[in-house]
Structure 1
Amino acid sequence: MPDKGPALTHLGASGEAHMVDVGAKAETERTAVAEGAVVMKPETLRIILSGDAKKGDVLGAARIAGIMAAKKTHELIPLCHPLLLTKVTVEIEPDETLPGLRVTSLARVTGKTGVEMEALTAASVACLTIYDMAKAVDRAMTITGVRLLEKSGGKSGDFRAERG
């Protein structure tokens, strides 16, 4: 029988979804970093950076929204474990070459399961918040490139995406 590769951890033998039992796993420090970007018109970027958006501080609101989202990931993604996060950061940097904003999030925990979903959720929700707060001036914005950049800790070891 050919090797099927790694098995999906959230599926039982009959294909039913279930939450993975992490009870026997060792607690280790686990970190994940994710990114995303919001591409927009140059004028929209100028409005955001100058603080002239009608809804207020776009970058501050997006940063807080991303942090809050990381803390609630288990409520949004059905089979995620609730985690006692020890650190979440969301950094937002302008990128004139897009033009737009690049979002990078970091999530950390000392626990029995990883924080990749928390980092991805933080980046995604920060991007969604940027869109929401600036859509009055640019409904054509696009959210792109949401991905895991790196993770460390746990049984599966470290991962680092190719920069691209």
Structure 2
Amino acid sequence: MLSHIDPENNQPGMVDVSSKAITQREATAESIVILGEEIMAELVGDDIQTKKGPVFQTAIIAGTMAVKKTSDLIPLCHPLPLEKCKFSIMPLPEQQAVRITCTCLVSGKTGVEMEALTGASVAALTIYDMCKAMSHDITISQTRLVKKTGGKSDYAAQ
């Protein structure tokens, strides 16, 4: 049975969470952005500076804005009163890439996985946008849920 299809009329709808208990729920998602040697060579300290500004700082701001708009972007997604949204962007020199992680926390009746996935995705797209003038050989890959806690079940990626 699909959770977003009303069994009475076979139409899409938001999941009814009215009977669920409020619990603390946390989710972490990641995206890998393969930048290539040319762009990775521009990494100084903990960011890449371009004519558009600091790449990673801008990506974190964009990702945070996206997290707050998840229910506007994903149909049937509940709006959530977020309590935490934290990003990390870690260089992976051996892969000529960076790993973006987005962790979101809420006390609510439904999970926060879509917010974490949206944040990581938009941060990755922002890095692409800010670096594309240097190279179009950028690949966004492996956007995935890393872990979630709270609610009916916990999850941790292998």
TM-score (norm 1): 0.90
How many correspondences in the alignment? Answer: 155
Q: Secondary structure at the match of 2:53?
A: coil
Report Cα offsets for 1:84-112 as digits up to 9, x if no partner: 00000111011112211110110000000
- Aligned partner of 2:96 in structure 1 is 99
- Aligned partner of 2:36 in structure 1 is 41
Percent identity for Structure 1 against Structure 2: 49
> Does the 8 Å CA contact 1:44/1:137 hold for their aligned counterparts?
yes
Equivalent of residue 63 in structure 2, options 66, 76, 91: 66
Return the letter of the residue paired with 1:12.
Answer: D
Bigger mean CA deviation after superposition, 47-56 or 129-138? 47-56
Q: Per-residue deviation at 1:15? A: 4.2
- Aligned partner of 1:19 in structure 2 is 14
- Aligned partner of 2:156 in structure 1 is 160
Q: Per-residue deviation at 1:47? A: 1.8
Equivalent of residue 30 in structure 1, options 17, 25, 33: 25
Equivalent of residue 140 in structure 1, options 137, 140, 156: 137
In the alignment, the residues of structure 2 paired with residue 54 and residue 31 of structure 1 have an alpha-carbon distance, to the nearest angstrom, of: 36
Return the letter of the residue paired with 2:85.
Answer: V
Equivalent of residue 125 in structure 1, options 106, 122, 125: 122
Report Cα offsets for 1:44-86 as digits up to 9, x if no partner: 1222446431211001000111111111100100110110000
Gaps of 5+ in 2: none
Report Cα offsets for 1:4-43 as digits up to 9, x if no partner: xxx3211223642111111111000000000011102212
> Does the 8 Å CA contact 1:36/1:124 hold for their aligned counterparts?
yes
Gaps of 5+ in 1: 1-6
Large movers: runs of 4+ above 4 Å: none
Considering only aligned residues, what root-mean-square deviation do their CA atoms show, in Å? Answer: 1.3
TM-score (norm 2): 0.93
Larger relative strand fraction: 2
In the alignment, the residues of structure 2 paired with residue 85 and residue 106 of structure 1 have an alpha-carbon distance, to the nearest angstrom, of: 11
In the alignment, the residues of structure 2 paired with residue 8 and residue 45 of structure 1 have an alpha-carbon distance, to the nearest angstrom, of: 43
> Does the 8 Å CA contact 2:49/2:55 hold for their aligned counterparts?
no
